[in-house]
Amino acid sequence: MVIKMSKIYFSFRTRVIILVFTIVILFGTGCFLASEYVKLFKGDRINYDEISDVEYSVCLKQNDIYDKECLASGMKYTSSIVDKIKTKLSYKVDFSEDINYDISYHIIAYNRIYDKTDKKRLLYESSDLLKEKTKVTGNNKNIDISDNVDVDFDKYNSFANNYKVKYSEDSLAKLDIILYIDEYDEEREVASISIPLGKNNFSISKRKISNMNKYVEIENKEKEKKGMLLLTIGSFLIGLSLLFDIKLVKLVKSTFAKKSKYDYKLEEILKKYDDKIVNVKEDIEYDDTKNIVKVEDIKELIDASNITNKPVLYAKINNIKSEFIVDGDNTVYKFILKEADLEGETEE
């Protein structure tokens, strides 16, 4: 016993719906995975507040004016009795969560002399490393750097006075003490004081930073690997959806293809003899012991149908061939419509 499996047939509309649904699912999933990759690629975002500060006191030589060894900040000072300036430079960062950090800092003194009439014109510059590069590492929420340096004011001020006498009376001199943070092969100024030189009286100015609600993105190797996997899968799904796009376009395009003479003839027959023809989805089965008569024209088959009072059975063999049969009591009447038979015909 041979079991014949029937083929599953989907209508044009059903096939279009299935393809559109598949494309939407594949493309949507691919885009979602790609967007997740972008989120993971950005790394972990950690918020932080960053501040710096400067404290100093001005220490004096032995004198008859003050009975104090050092004066507080924010005053006006007499250069001739100032010995040194005790300076404390600090830098602090507070992160929203623990972070691995590896930074360095150093402190430099810049002695600069400018042209008084053109303050952008630099006449002299020298620098002294007051604090060598110091590494700071850790894994926590806070970075706290603080260091003290004693600035030999008398030395730098004497140099400025001598320079004015020898080279340029109309010059401006100042001493900048700067705290630098070294990160990612770059140095950044975070705190400093500026001390005028070569004047009878002077005041000290200071610069500091205060950056609140900032953020930094930290690399995460595990997330990067996961992101690359998501990107690969997402790209594959998007590519697959494009293949289904092509298939959909071909399917829709095929419905607008130019009809052949065979298509027109078949359409004419099915429409004209609709009341006589029965559409059979499977191959037409009949008793092959009966007398087989092949007719040359559909009209002859219709006549046979009228005589025998039997319906015309129609089965589509393929896209270029159809079979019409009238199964009589003793005789089977058959008409075969083929595209090849119509190619040589001319329209009347």
Q: Which residues pair with 82 in a beta bridge?
A: 60
Which of the two residues, 183 and 40, has the higher pLDDT score? Answer: 183
Measured distance CA(123)–CA(115) in Å, rounded? 6
pLDDT greater than 90 at residue 287: no
pLDDT digits (tens, 9 = 90+) for 236-275: 888 888 888 888 787 777 666 567 788 888 888 989 999 8
- Say what the pTM is: 0.56
Measured distance CA(318)–CA(249) in Å, rounded? 22
CA R_g for the chain? 48
Instruction: State the pLDDT confidence band at 4, using cuts at 50, 70 and 90.
Output: very low
- What are the CB-based long-range contacts (under 8 Å, 24+) for 26-29? 26/237, 26/238, 26/240, 26/241, 26/244, 27/237, 27/238, 27/241, 29/234, 29/237
For residue 302, how many other CB atoms are within 10 A of its CB?
21
pLDDT at 95: 92
pLDDT at 2: 44
Identify whether the C-beta of residue 194 lies closer than 8 Å to the C-beta of residue 206. Answer: yes
pLDDT at 255: 65
